[in-house]
Chain A
Amino acid sequence: MTKRHVAEWAPAILVFALGIAAWEGLVRGLEIEEFLLPPLSVILETFWEDPDTFVTAGRITLIEAVGGFVIGCAAAILAALALARWRPLGEALMPYAIAANAVPIIAFAPITNNWFGAIDKESKMAIAAVLCFFPVFVNTLRGLTSVRPAQIELMRSYAASEVEVFRRVRIPNALPYVFTGLKVATVLAMIGAIVGDYFGGSPNSLGTLIRRSAGIFAFETAWAAILVASVLGIAFYAAVALAERLSMGWHASARARQVE
């Protein structure tokens, strides 16, 4: 098992190591100016010189992203449940949801800053929440409604109530779809929090740090902040992926089997 794990991961780790080496080597070998792209070693050095600044900024951004994620996803799941339960409502609202999904919501960031206070976390949570809403909503609704008719017919033969049908068929059926939406939403929540902070923004957040240091040509600081944002984004995604595995191992193994 462990051996197989190592064998599975080895190519990816190799690519990672080669990528880092190529970055470091090319930047130094071609003498690329540091303000264009500093070598990774310089970025890491910048981080170690003042880790507190980056950790604090990362924490603020993470709170904004996770806060927005929780609000947006909760609202999306509740809305999808309501629309799956009352179909005519769903049919009336669905075209607008799809249209809204195509709107570049991030463009509203300066507006939400204006509504909820540019230096407050709430304005970033708001934009992150709206960004998270649509993928989770659309996926959840699809999961709740794409149940095979015979599965519902069987529940009717047991004289199961509508609540029971949701609890025992529609919601378990929707879980894989919900997690697909949630994973997309983690990325969007980080984008929302950081870009929100580009416009005014919470003091000491990653977005503010990136914008300010880029403004004063302190690019290695901006890069260090971007690196922190990337690590946090990946960790956030991985946490949701882990929750997915834990809550529905059946699906992961079903999928693995289909791939085999």
Chain B
Amino acid sequence: MSENQIVVSLSGVSKRFATGGLEALRAIDLEVRPGEFISLIGPSGCGKSTLLRVVGDLVQPTEGRVVVNGKPAHQARLDRDYGMVFQDAVLYDWRTVAKNISLPLELLGWDRPRRAERVRELIELVELGGFEEHHPWELSGGMQQRVAIARALSFRPPLLLMDEPFGALDEMTRERMNMELLRIWQQSGGTILFVTHSIAEAVFLSTRVVVMSPRPGQIVGVVEIDLPQPRTADTREYPRFFELVTEVRELLRRGGTDFDAPVIEEELIAAEEGL
């Protein structure tokens, strides 16, 4: 893959659901370069999760072109060009941690020794040593999400699609997982497309934050996050961090996000606690 090849290219992507005629996305243009960490942020129901699924070829756009790794999204899915992580870890209860992680490798037809070796590497990467033979229900929420991340990375996809992966975690676990994810991102050197509704999380993690408007989801603006890499716990205390958080919030408000609505208010409090 050449340095300047685009990992994800969306042009004029719109989505209208057949049932109810709900317009979820309107005229989305976006390009994601290799090694970028892009966050999609917007109010609940703005279509950001739908957009992620459009990139993953799990939802078909009504209009527009989706190119992933230089191919149509459908081909990219068949080629296993991306790994997916959902808000709920989506682990299979009948499989142990090790077997959950190796599931995609089984589907790819890797033999047992090769799978075992890769699982060992991943267990180390996500720091779950000693839990290989545990079942999902024996793990905390944060640990379950680490298994899901290890599973998504197992076959070394160049792109990681993450749909509010830490949305169900408490604030402290969430901050710890943010650090973990950045470390994993730096070690594996991939590209990440990350959906969140936490402003602080988006600013802390990303190289660019894509701000979306309420339904139908449109891109209001893109904020370059010029905070120094690697990010540390101190990053959240830099004046520049506050400025960027404010910038994202202003864009959200200009896009029509109603910060007085009760649901958003909760998220705002959560975001502010993160500051």
Contacts and interface: CB of A to CB of B under 8 A. Distances in A.
Interface stretch (A8-16, A134-142, A146-154): A146-154
A254 B137 contact: yes
A11 to B, nearest CB: 29
A151 B92 CA distance: 8
A202 B167 CA distance: 65
Interface in B83-97: 83-84, 86, 88, 90, 92-94
Interface string A162-202: 00100011001101000000000000000000000000000
Contact of A154 (B77, B90, B94, B135): B90
Nearest to B79: A159
A4 interface: no
A156 interface: yes
Nearest to B59: A153
Contacts of B93: 250-251, 254
A245 to B, nearest CB: 14
B77 A151 contact: no
Interface centre among B78, B93, B94, B104 (most CB of A within 10 A): B94
A2 interface: no
Contact of A157 (B84, B106, B137, B138): B84
A175 B83 CA distance: 28
Interface string B47-58: 000000000101
Contacts of A175: 94
Interface residues of B, number: 22
A98 interface: no
Interface in B112-156: 135, 137-138
A168 B103 contact: yes
B94 A158 contact: no
Interface residues of A, number: 22
Contact of B94 (A156, A159, A172, A257): A172
A248 B94 CA distance: 8
A251 B86 CA distance: 24
Closest 6 CB pairs of A and B: A157-B84, A172-B94, A150-B90, A159-B78, A158-B104, A250-B94
A157 B86 CA distance: 11
A41 interface: no
Contacts of B80: 158-159
Interface of B: 56, 58, 77-80, 82-84, 86, 88, 90, 92-94, 103-104, 106-107, 135, 137-138
A150 B107 CA distance: 18
Nearest to B86: A150
A156 B58 contact: yes
Interface string A236-259: 000000000000101101100100
Contacts of A150: 86, 88, 90
A235 interface: no
Nearest to B138: A257
A218 interface: no
A160 interface: yes
A148 B86 CA distance: 13
Given A156-B77, A157-B82, A251-B94, 4 more contacts: A164-B107, A173-B94, A253-B135, A257-B138
A150 B148 CA distance: 13
A157 B73 CA distance: 11
B92 A153 contact: no
24 contacts: A148-B90, A150-B88, A151-B90, A153-B58, A154-B90, A156-B77, A157-B58, A157-B77, A157-B83, A158-B80, A159-B78, A159-B79, A159-B80, A159-B107, A168-B92, A168-B103, A172-B92, A172-B94, A173-B94, A250-B135, A251-B93, A253-B135, A254-B93, A254-B137
A251 B107 CA distance: 24
B137 A257 contact: yes
Contacts of A248: 94
Contacts of B104: 158
Nearest to A173: B94
Interface in A85-137: none
Contacts of A164: 107
Interface centre among B58, B80, B103 (most CB of A within 10 A): B103
B140 to A, nearest CB: 14
Contacts of A254: 93, 135, 137
B170 to A, nearest CB: 21
